[in-house]
Amino acid sequence: MADTRTFDEEARAILTGNDRGRYTVPTDGLYPYQWNWDSVFAAWGFADFDVDRAWTEIETLFSGQWPNGMVPHILFHKSDPGYFPGPDVWGCFEAGVTGPVPSSGISQPPIAATFIRRIFEADPDGKERLRSLFPRIVEFHRWFMTWRTDQGAVCITHPWESGRDNAPDWDGAMSAIDPVGVGEYKRRDTSHVDPMMRPTKEDYDRYIWLVQRGRRLGWDEAKLAEDRPFMVADPTMTFTLLRSNRDLAEIADVLGEDRDEIDAWTEELEAGALTLWNDVLESYDSRDVVTGEFAQSLSNASFLSWWAGIDNPRMLNQLERVSDAAPFAVASYDPEGPKFNPQRYWRGPVWGIMNTMIGIGLEDCGHIEEAERLRATTRRLIEENGFAEYFDPMTGAPAGGSRFTWTAAIWLGWLSPRDGRE
Ligand code: DGY
């Protein structure tokens, strides 16, 4: 066993190195702003050694909440020319729809309530901070239920909203977009990271085209909803909101607040999760809302069902199969599927944060052996390859950005062999 103290210390050093005062960047260079779900993981990591800083991270994130309830996927606290597309491309602040912080115009997987609950458990004295966040989280969930559901499943309107930018899940819906008039632009991501590990230009043209459309419509949800060029019901969004919503109801109890509306959302989301089951694939899958077609993509998001408290035995069979096919499970796309690429971002690589949510979900559903196996694999990935953004599931080789905030956070939150987690 490696010197665990060194890994704990290294993880803390990464978090403090990426700390910009009141928020944390995912990694220096590639991602120089505050990203929504990265930031929530950062807060969880801080809760291990500086719980006050953990609360501050979440409070900064919610300081960027829009008046309509959305918490954006990026908060551009101060401009950085090393990133594209920046605040000027999104144009949300100019449209007058943001809160006080310039931001992107979409959201990201709503994991906040789940980790806020964990931070409160680490700091029961933080009840007043929890109380002031509560109505904001309710507004955030209400925004999803109002603008992002189809038959109770939670949808994305841009691949970036899912956090799984170039997953094969979106290929069908993306191919329906003709990115006409998108114009010239200069990507920045490929100057930080090997282009082989990043989305293709075909994908990027469509990402930018969707941003330009949002800007043209003033980021007005009602106008954007009139005609959806891209809307896909997504397991990541559905399963994370379902779990967060259950956690929000528990938070309501702690605070003595009413939980009826929240419980009604849970029922709706549970029904929505059922609509993601693809019998042909024998898995949870993404569903194109425009065409009604499933993506036929078994991904690591399919396995977040346990995270949402849904224990479907058929997913255990799938987990065993994909773990046999790629030694460093869980690949972000089926290693036996036709689109598998072990290096390209969400088309194959293994992501520690997804493993952590899958593992905690397995644990919660009583699948202790499977959870322990996943924890051991994920721990080994980091011990042998460092705190990378993601890893090759066949070889374990590190990929994407390095000294990555969320990889450090999951080490502290779930992987470090302290506290009898051997
Ligand atoms: C990026 O810039 O690659 C991000 O994933 C968008 O959120």
Give the integer Cα–Cα distance in Å for 28 and 34.
Answer: 11
pLDDT given at position 3: 65
Q: Is residue 86 over pLDDT 90?
A: yes
189 lines ligand 1 (CB under 6 A): yes
Catalytic residue check, 267: no
140 lines ligand 1 (CB under 6 A): no
**Residue 309: CB atoms within 10 Å:** 16
Q: Ligand 1 mean position to 160 CA, how many Å?
A: 6
Give the integer Cα–Cα distance in Å for 375 and 104.
Answer: 34
Number of residues assigned to the chain: 422
Give the integer Cα–Cα distance in Å for 400 and 415.
Answer: 21
37 lines ligand 1 (CB under 6 A): no
CA pseudo-torsion sign 83, 89, 92, 93? positive
Q: pLDDT of 89-135, one tens digit each?
A: 999 999 999 999 999 999 999 999 999 999 999 999 999 999 999 99
Q: pLDDT of 140-190, one tens digit each?
A: 999 999 999 999 999 999 999 999 999 999 999 999 999 999 999 999 999
Q: How far is CA 20 from the centre of its chain?
A: 21
Ligand 1 atom at minimum distance from 35 CA? 7
| Category of 285 on φ-ψ map: left (φ > 0), alpha (ψ -120 to 50) or beta | beta
Quick one: DSSP state of residue 309? T
Q: How far is CA 98 from the centre of its chain?
A: 21
Give the integer Cα–Cα distance in Å for 69 and 67.
Answer: 5
Give 1's pLDDT tier (boundaries 50, 70, 90).
very low
Tokens of 176: 């329906």
Q: Ligand 1 mean position to 183 CA, how many Å?
A: 19
Give 420's pLDDT tier (boundaries 50, 70, 90).
low
Give 59's pLDDT tier (boundaries 50, 70, 90).
very high
Catalytic residue check, 3: no
Q: Is residue 422 over pLDDT 80?
A: no
Instruction: Report the residue among 74, 90, 104, 165 best suited for mutation to probe ligand 1: largest number of ligand atoms under 8 A from its CB.
Output: 165
Q: Is residue 342 over pLDDT 90?
A: yes
Give the integer Cα–Cα distance in Å for 422 and 416.
Answer: 9
Q: pLDDT of 382-413, one tens digit each?
A: 999 999 999 999 999 999 999 999 999 999 99
Contact indicator for 325, 274 with CB cutoff of 8 Å: no
pLDDT given at position 419: 66
Ligand 1 atom at minimum distance from 73 CA? 7
pLDDT given at position 4: 65
pLDDT given at position 418: 82
Task: Tell me the residue ranges of DSSP E strands in 315-373.
Answer: none
**Residue 146: CB atoms within 10 Å:** 12
38 lines ligand 1 (CB under 6 A): no
268 lines ligand 1 (CB under 6 A): no
Contact indicator for 257, 134 with CB cutoff of 8 Å: yes
**Residue 376: CB atoms within 10 Å:** 14
